[in-house]
A = this chain, B = another copy of it.
Amino acid sequence: MDALLKKLRHRFSLSADEEGLLRGLGGEPADFAPRQTVVRRDELQRFSRLLVSGFAIRHKEASSGERQILEIHVPGDFVDLHSFPLKRLDHDVSALSACRFINVPHERMTALEGAHPRLIHILWHMTLVDGSIQREGMLTLSRRTAIARLAHIFCELHCRLEVVGLAENGAFALPFNQVDLAEFAGITSVHTSRMLRELREAGLVTFKGGEVRIHDMKGLAQLADFTPAYLYLGNQPA
């Protein structure tokens, strides 16, 4: 919950009242084991889940059975806030590592709709930032080479984790194996292995044992064609 507020403070100025209301949204905590499915597509949802620890993914698969990871969620992210208006999702959400979520009942958000429109506005905003991240993902998947895709993933995650205090000196935990990374980058795992080697040998990043260490941020960002504007982290006018 603190991670959420940390992130939001990058975007909005929140009154003590508003922070209180946001904290008050949280209901039951729920724990999931690694690889467990958290939300199944097409199923009716009665609450949305705020990720408080661990990493979760949204993913979708083609009829061939190939899976595409659409977005990685880090603590402070609502993994399925969009299930509040949409009611059912078009994709699955899974825990990647052990995850703890806080469930926010949709009726509490409904109560907010009349009473605290600014908070609803902020929730809406959050869902749109996910959209923006996914649009950047489209660009990555279609217009960047395999090595740039991996570089871009590392840059983005570094940025997003830093905001919530989970990255230091360009290093952060990432509980992925190379198959996961491949499913996110839209390439095969063997090609991922080769490209990770190139990144390592170029002195840009190392990814080993679920940990990423960025050695040359500037070089990596350049290779990745990474510009963080799409993350909407600068403070905005309310």
Contacts and interface: CB of A to CB of B under 8 A. Distances in A.
A86 B232 contact: yes
Contacts of A42: 229
A139 B137 CA distance: 10
Interface stretch (A13-21, A140-148, A153-161): A140-148
Contacts of A237: 87
A138 B138 contact: yes
A191 interface: no
A4 B225 CA distance: 37
Contacts of A118: 113
4 closest A-B pairs by beta carbon, nearest first, are: A142-B186, A113-B117, A85-B125, A62-B143
Contacts of A68: 138-139, 142-143
Interface string A110-122: 0001100110110
Q: Interface size for chain A: under 10, 10 to 19, 20 to 34, or 35 or more residues? A: 35 or more
What number of copies of this chain does the assembly contain? 2
Interface of A: 42, 58, 60-64, 66, 68, 70, 82, 85-87, 90-91, 113-114, 117-118, 120-121, 124-125, 127-132, 134-139, 141-144, 186, 225, 229-230, 232, 236-237
A90 B132 contact: yes
B127 A124 contact: yes
Looking at A125, A138, A237, which has the most chain B CB atoms within 10 Å of its CB?
Answer: A138
Contacts of A230: 90
A8 to B, nearest CB: 13
Given A86-B129, A120-B120, 9 more contacts: A68-B143, A90-B230, A90-B232, A113-B117, A114-B114, A117-B120, A127-B128, A137-B138, A142-B142
